[in-house]
Amino acid sequence: MIDDITETEPLTPFRRWWEAAAAREELAEAMSVATATAGGAPSLRMVLLRGLDERGFVFYTNFDSRKAAELAENPHAALCFHWKSFARQVRVEGRVSVVADAEADGYFHSRARESQVGAWASDQSRVLPDHPTLMRRFEEAIARFAGETVIPRPANWSGYRIGPDRVEFWQELPHRLHDRLVFIRDGAGWRRERLYP
C-alpha cells in the first residue's frame, strides 16, 4: 500500500521511492519521456533523470533532437518511472523549461570525457548514412579537443526541467486492486487524491 506517503507534497516521497529503487535496480533513474507536437501527435523515449529539486525533474539532450523540436512547439511533457522489483511506478506531468546555462555547463562537465566528445560528434535525430560516419566524426572530435583540459558544452546541448503539475504514485497489489495516489498542483500547494485502479 501507499500508506508510507504521508507528505502534503510529492517530491519528498518520490525521492524516498527513487532511493529505495536505486539500491536494488540498475538504472533506477531511467524514465520514459513523452512529448507531443503542437498538433498533439505524441512520441516517447527513455532518458535518464539527471537532476531533481523543488523546481522539478531534469534531463539533458540536443536541441536539434526530435524531443527538443516537439518541446519548442508544445512545452509540456509526461514522465514515467517504473521499478519492477518494487512493483511501483511514478507518473509526472508538467510544463517544461530549459535549464540555466550554468546548470547545463555543470552537468556537461561532470560527464565522462568520451560522452562530452560524443555530444560534438552526433547530429542527434538527423539521418546518419552509416555507423562508420559517426565513428569518423567521433575520432575527429577527439583530435579536435586532444589538447584541451576542458571541452566546451555545445551551444545546442542543454537540459530541460519538467515542473510538475501532477505526480501519481502507483503500487501494484493483488487482483489488480492497485493503490494509486495523485498529487495535483493547487495554487502554491498540492491537493492529494486517491484513484480507483
CB within 8 Å of 132: residues ≥ 6 apart: none
**Bridge partners, 42 (sequence order):** 36
Full domain range(s) for residue 55: 11-101+160-195
Closest by CA position to 50, among listed 39, 59, 40, 61? 59
Each of the 197 residues of the chain gets a pLDDT tens digit; together they read 687 899 999 999 999 999 999 999 999 999 999 999 999 999 999 999 999 999 999 999 999 999 999 999 999 999 999 999 999 999 999 999 999 999 999 999 999 999 999 999 998 888 999 999 999 999 999 999 999 999 999 999 999 999 999 999 999 999 999 999 999 999 999 999 999 99
Rg of the chain on CA atoms, in Å: 19
Is residue 108 within 8 Å of residue 119, measured between CB atoms?
A: yes
Based on the residue annotation, tell me whether 176 is a catalytic residue of this protein.
Answer: yes
Out of 144, 176, 191, 194, pick the active-site residue.
Answer: 176
In a domain, 151, yes or no: no
In a domain, 88, yes or no: yes
- Report how many domains make up the chain: 1
Quote the pTM value: 0.94
Residue 176, domain CATH: 2.30.110.10
Residue 72 CB coordination number (10 Å): 13
CB within 8 Å of 70: residues ≥ 6 apart: 35, 36, 37, 43
In a domain, 154, yes or no: no
Is residue 3 within 8 Å of residue 192, measured between CB atoms?
A: no
Q: What is the pLDDT of residue 1?
A: 67
In a domain, 31, yes or no: yes
In a domain, 36, yes or no: yes
The SS3 assignment for 178 reads: coil
Question: Which spans in 80-155 are helix H?
Answer: 101-110, 113-121, 131-144
